[in-house]
Amino acid sequence: MTDRSLLHAVVKAADDKRAEDILVLNMQGISLITDYFVICHGNSDKQVQAIVREIKEKADELQISVKRIEGFDEAKWVLVDLGDIVVHVFHRDERSYYKLERLWGDAPIENVLSELNQ
C-alpha cells in the first residue's frame, strides 16, 4: 500500500466519524520522524475516541501496523503513529491551545479531502 492510499484511508476514516477541520501537512523534508501529519478534532471525548477507533480499525483492515496510540483514555490529544503517517486527533479546546498547524506552518498542506470527493 502506498503512503497516499493510506493517507486517503485515514482521512476518510476520520471524516466518517465527523472529525472537524481535517488538515494534512506534508512533512517530507521538514521532519525526520514522518512524511505526513493528519490533524483533526472532535467536539467531545467520546467523538475523539470514536475517530481514533475508526482509524485503527481501517489500519487493521488494510493490515497496516499501528505502531503506537498515545492519549486515548484522556481523549484530549490522541496521537496515532502509523509510521510514515502520524495522526493527531484533538479535543476541540486542546487543538486551539496547541495550534500544531502554526508550529509546522512551513509544511505544505495536502488537499486530501477534495481528492476523496472526486
Question: Residue 65: its pLDDT value, please?
Answer: 92
- For 61, 70, 80, 110, the CA distances from 66, given in Å and listed in that order, are 11, 11, 7, 22
Q: What span, in angstroms and rounded, lies between the C-alpha atoms of 9 and 6?
A: 5
Question: Residue 18: its pLDDT value, please?
Answer: 97
Question: Residue 11: its pLDDT value, please?
Answer: 96
Question: Residue 10: its pLDDT value, please?
Answer: 96
Block means of pLDDT (10 residues each) for the chain, 118 residues, are: 87 96 94 93 97 97 95 97 96 92 87 73
- For 45, 71, 95, the CA distances from 92, given in Å and listed in that order, are 10, 15, 5
Q: Which amino acid is at 16?
A: D
Question: Residue 118: its pLDDT value, please?
Answer: 61
Contacts with 93 (C-beta within 8 Å, 6 or more apart), sequence order: 76
CA torsion, points 67, 108, 95, 10, in degrees to nearest 10? -40
- Phi, psi at 38, each rounded to 5°: -110, 125
Q: Kindly state which CATH superfamily the domain 3-113 is placed in.
A: Beta Polymerase, domain 2 (3.30.460.10)
The domain ranges of the chain are 3-113
Question: Residue 102: its pLDDT value, please?
Answer: 87
